[in-house]
Amino acid sequence: MTTRQPEALRLAEWFDEEDGFRQGTKAPHKWVLQAAAELRRLHAVNEGLRDQNTKLDKACANMEAVSAQLLEALDSCAGVLAVFVDDGSAAPDSVVDKNLTAARAAIAAAKGEA
């Protein structure tokens, strides 16, 4: 597999090499050197942004996994609270009942059902 040179770097090299030869001199004009330098700078910025994007993708994947684990734990806790509410051990409007309502709302929101 051949690795293709990024277009910005290819153009920068072309500016460095071709312009001077077309003008009949070996030294490119100042603006050509500036354009080549800017292309190289922008390429470096682009590479940095790609690296950051890769890191963010990994962080998002990790957060999604943690979120799924938390949702599973919250669902389990809601099941335990529901036992107390359903069997009458927890009075309506008790802390247990309010926590169960909050847990069910959070679960629905996390699942996109709210």
∠ at Cα 94 (88, 97), nearest 5°? 70
This prediction's pTM: 0.56
Phi first, then psi, for residue 113 (nearest 5°) are -100, -5
Q: Do 29 and 19 meet the contact criterion of CB atoms below 8 Å apart?
A: yes
pLDDT at site 20: 54
Taking the C-alpha atoms of 104, 106, 109 and 114 in order, what is their torsion angle to the nearest 10 degrees?
Answer: 40
- Say if residues 81 and 96 touch (Cβ distance below 8 Å): yes
- Give pLDDT tens digits for 17-67: 765 556 666 666 777 788 889 999 999 999 999 999 999 999 999 999 999
Give the number of other CB atoms < 10 A from CB of residue 52. Answer: 10
Question: Looking only at Cα atoms, what is the longest distance across the chain?
Answer: 95
Rounded Cα–Cα distance for residues 46 and 10 (Å): 15
